[in-house]
């Protein structure tokens, strides 16, 4: 049993992600609290990424949308279409 630093509820060790840097090899925050935090910060992160892309258009032109990059992504999608579809539908269910 371990107490979560965020929700302050004592939970089984299986309710924590592994973190080899900690003495007990577990995160200090439970999986449920981490998921909530990540969900709440998703929009903030997207906004930050959007601002960075706007400030660095040359980088995006050079690396993000090159013909080589587009071709690579097309080929990758063709080769892994089934796997990508399964992952996408699994993510939409959450």
Q: What is the pLDDT of residues 24-36, one digit of tens each?
A: 999 999 999 999 9
Domain spans, the chain: 1-55, 66-94
Instruction: Give 91's pLDDT tier (boundaries 50, 70, 90).
Output: low
Range list of H helices, the chain: 31-55, 57-59, 67-79, 81-93
- Answering whether pTM is above 0.75, one says no
Measured in degrees and rounded to the nearest 5, phi and psi for residue 11 equal: -135, 165
Q: Has residue 79 got a pLDDT over 70?
A: yes
| Residues 52/53/59/63 CA torsion (nearest 10 deg) | 130
Q: Has residue 80 got a pLDDT over 70?
A: yes
| Residues 10/13/14/17 CA torsion (nearest 10 deg) | 100
């Amino acid at each position: 049993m371990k107490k979560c630093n965020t929700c302050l509820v004592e939970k089984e060790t299986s309710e924590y992600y592994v973190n080899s840097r900690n003495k007990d090899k577990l995160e200090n925050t439970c999986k449920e609290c981490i998921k909530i935090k990540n969900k709440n910060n998703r929009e903030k992160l997207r906004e930050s990424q959007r601002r960075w892309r706007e400030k660095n258009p040359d980088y995006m032109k050079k690396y993000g949308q090159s013909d080589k990059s587009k071709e690579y992504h097309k080929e990758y999608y063709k080769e892994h279409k089934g796997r990508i579809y399964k992952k996408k539908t699994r993510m939409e269910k959450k």
